[in-house]
Structure formats: structure tokens, C-alpha cells
């Protein structure tokens, strides 16, 4: 289809107050909220091990609905038994208050290479950005497009990480320090306000309908 016939309307999340970048950077907690399968679990295990020396914690919050969830969850409980026992890693299921998880996290993760049964840009990522929580995303479309949108707007709201588990873990472990996360946090909130607000979404729908109506009358 010609590019001229494609209209991009990005999803929106409700406006909310973002936490101060220095507060976000001081938390030293990673958050993965999404589906769980064996491939994702391998990345999370590698990440938990890679960030252990730096004292970072990891919260894994996955609704037990995805194919392979039970097996992957059992694998995490086995491979990260010591970390789970110490509390450095949390393994959650249904979460009643996602806002509370965002508000104690410094960096959110998208550790999947797919968005099956979801919108192209997972709303959980956008809700985190709005609160000033930057994102580390496996460098695969469509989720990684969020970072490209930020780049086009002059905003770096996180990093694109390799899919291979150890490389994924190293990429994140190398950058989780205060100055980087604080900068990303500021950009994350700005990106959400600029590109994923109700105002921008409504404006793009209005422009599309106006364009279609104009063409219909010709």
C-alpha cells in the first residue's frame, strides 16, 4: 500500500504526574510487566544474574494467561530460587495496583519479541513512560518502534536491547546507573506527553476524518 494512504494514530494513555527524574533513578528496581513464556524467562534469568552484583532488584509481574506461563513460571522459581527467597526478585501474578509498581521502579522492561493478543504498542509501556519510567525493549518491532518515535522527536526514553538472553542482560546491566536513568526518565515523561496523549490521538483522528471528508466531496 502506498505510504500516502497510511495514517498513523498512536494510542494514548491518561495524563498523570511523572515522578522527578532523580527519584526514579534512585530506585534501583527493574520491572517486567507482560506475558511470560520460556523465551522471556530466559532473558529475565540472565538479567537477574547480571544485575545482582550492582544491587538492583527485579519485579516480574505477569498475569498467568499466556501459553507457556506455568512452565516458564516454574522455571523462574527454580532458577532464581535464592533471589526469590531473599526478596531481590519478586514473581507476581495478577496485580491490583500497577501504579504502585511503576512508582517504585527505575526502568521498565519489554522482554518479549512479540505482542500477541495486544495492541502494537503495549499500553503498560506507555503508562510507565507517563510516570517517568524509561524502557528497555528487545530491539524487535513493533514494541521497539516506541524508541524510534522518541528518537524522531529528539527524546531518548530508554534503550533497544538484543534478543539473545545474555546480550539482553549485559546491555541493561551496563547502563543502569543514575545519570543515564535520570536523563531517560525526563525524556520518557516528555515523550508520553507529546506523542501518546489523548490530545494528540484525538487530533490525529480529527485530521484523518477531515481529510477523508475532503476527498469524498471532490
Segment (H or E) for 78? helix 69-79
Residue 177 pLDDT: 72
pTM score, two decimals? 0.90
What integer pLDDT is reported at residue 126 of this predicted model? 94
How is residue 196 annotated by DSSP?
Answer: S
Parts of the chain with a pLDDT under 50: none
Look at residue 32 in the predicted model and tell me its pLDDT.
97
pLDDT of residue 117: 66
DSSP 122: -
Report d(CA 174, CA 156) in Å as an integer: 16
* CA-angle at 12, arms to 8 and 15, nearest 5°: 145
pLDDT value for 176: 83
Amino acid at each position: 500500500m502506498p505510504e500516502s494512504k497510511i495514517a498513523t494514530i498512536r494510542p494514548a494513555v491518561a495524563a498523570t504526574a511523572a515522578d522527578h527524574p532523580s527519584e526514579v533513578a534512585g530506585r534501583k528496581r527493574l520491572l517486567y510487566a507482560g506475558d511470560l513464556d520460556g523465551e522471556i524467562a530466559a532473558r529475565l534469568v540472565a538479567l537477574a544474574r547480571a544485575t545482582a552484583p550492582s544491587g538492583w532488584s527485579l519485579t516480574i509481574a505477569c498475569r498467568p494467561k499466556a501459553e507457556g506461563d506455568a512452565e516458564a513460571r516454574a522455571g523462574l522459581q527454580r532458577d532464581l530460587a535464592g533471589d526469590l527467597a531473599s526478596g531481590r526478585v519478586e514473581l507476581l501474578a495478577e496485580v491490583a495496583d500497577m501504579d504502585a509498581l511503576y512508582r517504585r521502579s527505575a526502568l521498565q522492561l519489554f522482554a518479549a519479541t512479540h505482542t500477541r493478543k495486544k495492541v502494537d504498542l503495549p499500553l503498560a509501556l506507555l503508562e510507565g513512560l507517563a510516570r517517568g519510567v524509561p524502557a528497555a525493549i528487545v530491539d524487535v518491532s513493533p514494541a521497539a518502534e516506541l524508541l524510534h518515535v522518541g528518537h524522531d522527536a529528539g527524546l531518548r526514553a530508554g534503550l533497544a536491547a538484543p534478543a539473545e538472553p545474555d546480550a539482553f542482560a549485559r546491555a541493561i546491566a551496563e547502563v543502569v546507573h543514575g545519570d543515564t536513568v535520570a536523563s531517560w526518565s525526563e525524556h520518557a515523561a516528555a515523550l508520553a506527553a507529546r506523542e501518546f496523549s489523548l490530545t494528540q490521538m484525538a487530533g490525529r483522528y480529527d485530521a484523518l476524518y477531515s481529510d477523508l471528508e475532503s476527498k469524498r466531496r471532490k
